[in-house]
Structure 1
Amino acid sequence: MINTYFRAFSLGVVAGMRSMMAPALLSRKLVRTIPTKQPSKPIHYLALPTTSMVLTTLAGSEIIGDKVPSTPNRTAPPVFGARVVSGATCGAFLSQVEGGEVAAGAAAGGLGAAVGTVAFFQLRMWLTRGLGIPDPVVALAEDALAISLGWQVVNSIEPDVQTA
């Protein structure tokens, strides 16, 4: 079970980097692994192809929006809160899919999102202001890292077909 919560924490870190990336990647994974002929649980709706397409579009829009100078700071209270909620939700769903405790998965995902938000904000500030690396370059590197980490996390999910 500890691996489940580590994956939930890691997916939360991805949500801290890009709030829509974690749910988009999780949904894409669930579309391929959970049968949804008769959706009866919230997790089943996340596993619908339409949901996956919408979340993927939102994640792509967030990647573009992150490059706009007027985009709010990720540590501003409403934005920070949205990232924590995204991480907690993804952690809860991931935990449910693997047969773990939903509350523990939510806590791990929310904590991961909080850590990811602050850590990657500070790293980005240090790279741009401290080392003088252009912000768009750092932002693109962060996008690549979020996609790579998220992809690895969701592809390591071990679904418990009986609980999903």
Structure 2
Amino acid sequence: MKKSTSPQRSAKFWPVMGFATLAGMRSMSAPAFLSHYLSRQPHSGLAKSPLRFLQKPGTAKLLKVMAAGELVMDKLPSTPDRTAPPVLLGRLLSGALVGAAWYKSRHGSALSGGMLGGLAAVAATFVSYALRTGISKQTDTPVALVGVGEDALVLAGGTALLRGVRPAHGEWQPL
């Protein structure tokens, strides 16, 4: 007999996969989008958690500035590949942060969410790198220009993700 997935489990798992995918594409975008959401709809699951800083409006603003800076830095020829160990570590940590915060905000295990988010961010890093370089080679388009399209995908994906998530109490409240 097949076991069905509970709505609460899905409400944790799929948003983390979305945020982690963003982290794999642009490391600062995932925390920026999540902090924007949490600063407007604080969750009691983070009330006594060290992750509660993500609910502060000042944190959300700072992360948005950092995410915008990353969009620019990504196009510079001196920027290392996203698969370089230090850059990959940053994406893993970004995915782990958003995964832990999302799970904790839903009264789940920050460790489970962090592990899921970190692993998914690493996978998304390699997939998005292969897509970006592959598109560039196949179409003879500069990698930086393909990166602009990737930026648009990250922004649209993050916006759609925030519109589709449910507050912890179960009511739909799009941002």
How many angstroms apart in 1 are the aligned matches of 2:62 and 2:39? 13
Post-superposition shift, 1:58? Answer: 0.3
- RCO (CA 8 Å, sep 6+): is it higher in 1 or 2? 1
Greater gyration radius: 2
Any residues of structure 2 matched to 1:12-51 within 5 Å, and which? 12-34=20-42, 40-51=48-59
Q: In structure 2, give the amino acid aligned to 1:80.
A: L
Identity of aligned residues (%): 35
Q: Alignment partner for residue 127 of structure 1, among 132, 135, 148?
A: 135
Any residues of structure 2 matched to 1:81-100 within 5 Å, and which? 81-100=89-108
Q: Secondary structure at the match of 2:69?
A: helix
How many angstroms apart in 2 are the aligned matches of 1:44 and 1:115? 27
How many angstroms apart in 1 are the aligned matches of 2:168 and 2:51? 13
Post-superposition shift, 1:156? Answer: 2.8
Partners of 2:43 and 2:168 within 8 A in 1: no
Post-superposition shift, 1:35? Answer: 7.0
Q: Secondary structure at the match of 2:165?
A: coil
Q: Give the superposed CA RMSD.
A: 1.8
Of 143-152 and 20-29, the range deviating more from structure 2:
143-152
TM-score by length of 1: 0.89
Q: Which residue of 2 aligns with 1:140?
A: 148
How many angstroms apart in 2 are the aligned matches of 1:154 and 1:106? 19
How many angstroms apart in 2 are the aligned matches of 1:157 and 1:110? 20
The one-character-per-residue Cα deviations of 1:63-82 (angstroms, maximum 9, x if unpaired) are 00011010011000010011
Post-superposition shift, 1:146? Answer: 1.0
Aligned length: 159
TM-score by length of 2: 0.84
Partners of 1:13 and 1:112 within 8 A in 2: yes
Change (3 A) 1:88 1:35: closer
How many angstroms apart in 2 are the aligned matches of 1:3 and 1:34? 16
Change (3 A) 1:102 1:41: closer
1:152 paired with 2:135, answer: no
Q: Secondary structure at the match of 1:74?
A: coil
1:58 paired with 2:58, answer: no
